[in-house]
Amino acid sequence: MAWVVTPVEDKACPYLWSLTWEGDALAYFQHQWMAEQALDAAVEHIGNPNLYVGTKLSENFQRRVNRIISRTVPCKTCGAKIGSPCKRPSEHATTYENPHEDRRDRMDAYLLSLGD
């Protein structure tokens, strides 16, 4: 049993890659690079989901994925540098370290620059 990245077979689905455990998808991605980064995060931070204790696996995973974005591109909205999470005006990190829209746009541009 292991986390794997697999192509999505459904041509109507806008997401091209899925991160799965034994056929169950945890997340979908539009670029293979991002899916593989998320795979590393799942292996390192989640491990075997069947042995996971607690109820916040998806929240923790989302936080890890947001950190991939944070360590890849900076944010113009809040001024966060590469490697730092987006911050609210109060200087606290945003909920689940969710990146601001500017940072998501920059991440999309980064992924597009990688090509297929």
**Residues at the interface with Zn ion (CB under 5 A):** 75, 77-78, 80, 86, 100
| 20 vs 70 by CB, closer to Zn ion | 70
| 48 vs 77 by CB, closer to Zn ion | 77
DSSP letters spanning 1-61: --EEEEE---TT-S--EEEEETTEEEEEESSHHHHHHHHHHHHHHT--GGG--SS-HHHHH
- Whose tokens are 């597009």? That residue is 112
User: Minimum distance from CB of 111 to Zn ion (Å)?
Assistant: 18
User: Minimum distance from CB of 68 to Zn ion (Å)?
Assistant: 15
- Whose tokens are 């996971």? That residue is 52
User: Minimum distance from CB of 84 to Zn ion (Å)?
Assistant: 9
**How many residues in the chain?**
116
| 46 vs 78 by CB, closer to Zn ion | 78
